């Protein structure tokens, strides 16, 4: 096996990096994951994740973790209510009978990020993850790499896999290609105890999701298992809007004032998201890697997830792409069909880029459609299975 006597470093302990670690350990590889979070108990931010049968769930099946997933996913959390800006429901999946189940291509069960991370962490060998390890720099060291972390700690590895997300420190060592701005900026927010702090929205969610579309803007709200919620506004803006706006996004009152102005004419129910002092908001301009990106494969370095193929979130493919990357990369690295590590990595990267390019094209089209005057009609057609809407 190509991985025999090799020390593998995975930089980034998100779902993609942890899934890869699990799959490689199943093949007998020696793996260390370097994660910048202080420890495993740090609260995981972000909305719930819907895993797809052909990607995220396929990776969990290969990792022997599907039963653990079934014990921790949230039935009903995938149910959606689609509304206009007045909170008028135009599509309600809560009123539909649940026909799909595990094994069905269209079944996309939801799980909170924290429980998914715990499932993956608990599957790894003890001390696989080095916490509080934010990469500062990386230099060649013989046939491998020397990693230096902000804490001053250092480590060596024969192979490094960058699973370190949109602002990857690993990616520039492979390619100078940078992402381009999609035209949309998201304001991401989280709110504790939605039943008390946003009671009307909490009732409207029914433990699932709300997609509100109108005026070429989007508002997505997701319930979480701990009683909190996550939300995302989406607006077409200049690339530097967040910086140039003068808004202090840590001040909820300033964000609420912006929302009232930007979303003028929207029902005041949505202002509940910004009314609680505990609401936390972060602006996130949405970027996408060029669809024709390519680079020369290296014998000791590669990427997965957002580090490899960053794209906007509007097709719901991010975590699924990362976990499928992990599955395909682990298969290549553990295979006997390649003469050397560079050939195995080249095969993985070629199929990964081709797959990501197709998904990114669909995602960009979806991003444009959801921020158009016809977004509601587009989504109604999409959920009705009208192929012309795709």
Q: What is the span of the domain harbouring residue 309? A: 7-74+109-178+292-370
Same domain, residue pair 165 and 213: no
Residues contributing to the annotated binding site: 43, 50, 113, 306
Q: What is the DSSP string of 139-153?
A: EEETTEEEEEETTS-
Same domain, residue pair 38 and 113: yes
Same domain, residue pair 115 and 64: yes
Same domain, residue pair 225 and 299: no
Last residue of a domain, which of 232, 262, 288?
288
Residues contributing to the annotated binding site for FAD: 50, 113, 306
Same domain, residue pair 277 and 304: no
Same domain, residue pair 166 and 303: yes
Print pLDDT tens along the chain (390 aa).
788 899 999 999 999 999 999 999 999 999 999 999 999 988 777 778 999 999 999 999 999 999 999 999 999 898 999 999 999 999 999 888 766 788 887 888 999 999 999 999 999 999 999 999 999 999 999 999 999 999 999 999 999 999 999 999 999 999 999 999 999 999 999 999 999 999 999 999 999 999 999 999 999 999 999 999 999 999 999 999 999 999 999 999 999 999 999 999 999 999 999 988 889 999 999 999 999 999 999 999 999 999 999 999 887 788 999 999 999 999 999 999 999 999 999 999 999 999 999 999 999 999 999 999 999 999 999 887 754 433
Q: What is the CATH number of the domain that holds 259?
A: 3.30.9.30
Tens of pLDDT, residues 165-190: 999 999 999 999 999 999 999 999 99
- Those residues whose C-beta lies under 8 Å from the C-beta of residue 65, and which sit 6 or more positions away, are 22, 119, 120, 123
Same domain, residue pair 62 and 202: no
Same domain, residue pair 265 and 227: yes
Same domain, residue pair 184 and 43: no
Residues contributing to the annotated binding site for NADPH: 43
Same domain, residue pair 174 and 307: yes
With both helix axes pointing from N to C terminus, report the angle between 375-383 and 341-370 in degrees, rounded to the nearest 10.
120
Same domain, residue pair 23 and 61: yes
> Model's pTM, two decimal places?
0.94
Is the residue at 251 inside a domain? yes
């Amino acid at each position: 096996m190509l991985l025999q006597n090799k020390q593998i470093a995975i930089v980034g302990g998100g779902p993609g990096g942890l899934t890869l670690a699990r799959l490689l350990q199943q093949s007998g590889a020696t793996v260390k994951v370097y994660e910048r979070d202080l420890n495993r108990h740090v609260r995981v931010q972000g909305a719930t994740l819907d895993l797809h049968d052909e990607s995220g769930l396929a990776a969990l099946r290969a990792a022997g973790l599907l039963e653990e997933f079934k014990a921790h996913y949230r039935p009903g959390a995938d149910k959606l209510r689609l509304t206009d800006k007045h909170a008028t429901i135009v599509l309600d999946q809560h009123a539909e009978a649940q026909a799909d189940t595990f094994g069905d291509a269209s079944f996309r069960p939801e799980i909170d990020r924290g429980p998914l991370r715990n499932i993956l962490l608990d599957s790894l060998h003890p001390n696989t993850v080095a916490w509080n390890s934010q990469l500062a720099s990386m230099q060649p060291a013989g046939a491998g790499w020397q990693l230096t972390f902000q804490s001053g700690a250092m480590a060596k590895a024969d192979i490094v896999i960058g699973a370190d997300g949109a602002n990857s420190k690993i990616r520039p060592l492979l390619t100078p290609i940078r992402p381009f701005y999609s035209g949309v900026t998201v304001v991401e927010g989280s709110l504790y105890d939605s039943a008390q702090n946003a009671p009307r929205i909490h009732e409207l969610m029914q433990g699932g999701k709300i997609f509100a579309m109108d005026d070429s803007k989007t508002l997505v709200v997701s319930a979480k298992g701990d009683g909190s919620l996550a939300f995302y506004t989406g607006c077409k803006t200049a690339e530097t809007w967040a910086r140039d706006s003068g808004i202090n996004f840590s001040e909820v009152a300033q964000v609420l004032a912006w929302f009232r102005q930007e979303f003028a004419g929207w029902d005041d129910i949505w202002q509940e998201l910004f009314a609680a002092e505990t609401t936390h908001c972060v602006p996130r301009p949405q970027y996408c890697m060029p669809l024709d990106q390519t680079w020369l494969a290296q014998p000791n370095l590669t990427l997965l997830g957002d580090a490899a193929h960053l794209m906007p979130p509007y097709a719901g493919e991010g975590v699924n792409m990362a976990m499928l990357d992990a599955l395909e990369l682990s298969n290549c690295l553990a295979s006997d069909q390649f003469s050397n590590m560079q050939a195995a990595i080249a095969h993985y990267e070629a199929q990964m880029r081709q797959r990501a390019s197709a998904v990114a094209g669909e995602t960009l089209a979806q991003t444009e459609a959801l921020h158009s005057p016809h977004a509601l009609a587009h989504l109604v057609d999409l959920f009705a299975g009208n192929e012309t809407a795709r």
